[in-house]
């Protein structure tokens, strides 16, 4: 297997012989916020063995969260098919001797997902989250790139324009802690990129952001889109979303007429602050939907 090569790469990284700035191991391929290890056909294994091997790499068998990720996996396969992290959990199918038949899913080079016996020997794909830089968006190697007017390098050709995709709501996020700016200037930067400052509309979205930022920038305050401009305390999201979910931590002590919300990384609370304070920020926009990619016939579309 490739375990020996991986361990050698880890040793070289530890002693400073090799250095990589994309956060992935030497034998991994970066895409979005993750690193992928594509095992080839040199030594095929069953689904459970593949799962256990991924764990030794501090990763998991891959599960694709978007059409773009499916296409990336398909295009980088080193084998005809490979195990994914999907497993059939139904317990209703047995052999005549009473033993349970276990089914797991394979991805092939056409982008099709098919299930088969988990004991079948095949290659596999591992996936792990990559470390987060100061400006968090998908890396330049995802697709072709362009330089926007404010100097942020963004990828073009994917549904999020290089931003981080949240599959639970199909929104995209850009995290920036390198530009410390006022709330108004932060919003201008987001709007220049086709989005707006962050609104959080439910607990699921809150948890996604909390999990994504876990371990990065702890203690940093990042502007959100919440703003109050009157003494009555009428808060609104800058993108017009309804403020139905709230996660307040502290109230601004002097209670000025105009105050804005920031996201406290680590605690993941919302803080009321003076809108002229200098903070990083989080932008949000709706994922662009290509008609061909949004067809209900997902697997057929993937083969195009």
pLDDT over 80 (residue 63): yes
Domains 3-129 and 135-286 in one fold: yes
CATH class entry, domain 135-286: alpha beta
Do 282 and 197 form a contact (C-beta atoms < 8 A)? yes
Which pLDDT score, from 0 to 100, does residue 283 have? 95
Pairing between strand 221-228 and 164-166?
A: unpaired
Among 26, 106, 16, residue whose Cα is nearest residue 61 = 106
Which pLDDT score, from 0 to 100, does residue 154 have? 34
pLDDT over 60 (residue 216): yes
**Percent above pLDDT 90 for the chain:** 26
pLDDT averaged over the chain? 74
- Domain 3-129 indexed as CATH 3.10.180.10: no
Residue 170 or 240, more confident: 240
The 10s digit of each residue's pLDDT in 150-172 is: 333 333 335 776 788 887 788 88
Which pLDDT score, from 0 to 100, does residue 291 have? 41
Do 164 and 155 form a contact (C-beta atoms < 8 A)? no
DSSP letters of 192-247?
HTT-EE----SHHHHHHHHHHHTTSSTT-EEEEEEEE-STT--EEETT--------
The 10s digit of each residue's pLDDT in 176-201 is: 888 899 999 999 999 998 899 999 98
Mean pLDDT lowest among 200-204, 219-223, 280-284? 200-204
Per 3-state DSSP, the chain is made up of helix, strand and coil in percentages (nearest 5) of: 20, 30, 50
Which pLDDT score, from 0 to 100, does residue 255 have? 57
pLDDT band at 296 (very low <50, low <70, confident <90, very high): very low
**Percent above pLDDT 70 for the chain:** 68
Structural domain boundaries of the chain?
A: 3-129, 135-286
The 10s digit of each residue's pLDDT in 64-101 is: 776 778 888 888 888 889 999 887 655 445 555 555 66
Is the whole-model pTM more than 0.75? no
Which pLDDT score, from 0 to 100, does residue 146 have? 29
Which pLDDT score, from 0 to 100, does residue 295 have? 37
Q: In 3-state terms, what secondary structure has residue 70?
A: helix
Structure tokens, 21: 């700035």
Using alpha carbons, list the distances in angstroms from residue 117 to 71, 110, 193, 212: 24, 20, 46, 34
The 10s digit of each residue's pLDDT in 242-293 is: 887 877 655 555 555 688 999 998 887 888 889 999 999 999 999 875 444 4
Which pLDDT score, from 0 to 100, does residue 49 have? 94
């Amino acid at each position: 297997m490739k375990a020996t090569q991986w361990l050698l790469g880890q040793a070289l990284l530890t002693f400073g012989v090799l250095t990589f700035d994309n956060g992935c191991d030497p034998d991994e391929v970066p895409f979005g916020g993750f690193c992928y290890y594509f095992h080839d056909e040199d030594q095929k294994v069953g689904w459970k063995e593949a799962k256990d091997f991924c764990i030794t790499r501090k990763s998991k068998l891959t599960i694709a969260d978007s059409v773009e990720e499916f296409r990336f996996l398909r295009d980088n396969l080193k084998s005809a098919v490979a195990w994914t992290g999907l497993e059939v959990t139904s317990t209703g199918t047995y052999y005549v001797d009473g033993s349970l038949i276990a089914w797991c899913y394979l991805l092939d080079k056409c982008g099709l997902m098919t299930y088969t016996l988990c004991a079948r020997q095949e290659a596999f794909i591992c996936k792990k989250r990559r470390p987060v830089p100061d400006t968090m968006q998908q890396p330049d190697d995802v697709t072709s790139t362009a330089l926007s007017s404010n100097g942020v390098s963004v990828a073009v050709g994917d549904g999020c324009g290089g931003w981080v995709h949240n599959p639970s709501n199909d929104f995209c996020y850009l995290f920036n802690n390198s530009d410390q700016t006022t709330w108004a200037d932060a919003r201008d930067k987001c709007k220049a990129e086709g989005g707006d400052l962050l609104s959080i509309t439910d607990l699921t979205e809150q948890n996604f952001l909390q999990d994504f930022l876990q371990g990065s920038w702890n203690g940093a305050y990042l502007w959100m889109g919440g703003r109050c401009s009157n003494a009555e305390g009428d808060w609104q999201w800058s993108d017009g979303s309804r403020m139905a979910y709230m996660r307040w931590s502290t109230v601004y002590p002097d209670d000025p007429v105009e105050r804005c919300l920031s996201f406290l990384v680590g605690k993941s609370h919302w803080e009321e602050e003076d809108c002229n304070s200098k903070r990083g920020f989080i932008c949000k926009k709706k994922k662009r939907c290509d008609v061909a990619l949004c067809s209900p016939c997902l697997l057929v579309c993937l083969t195009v």
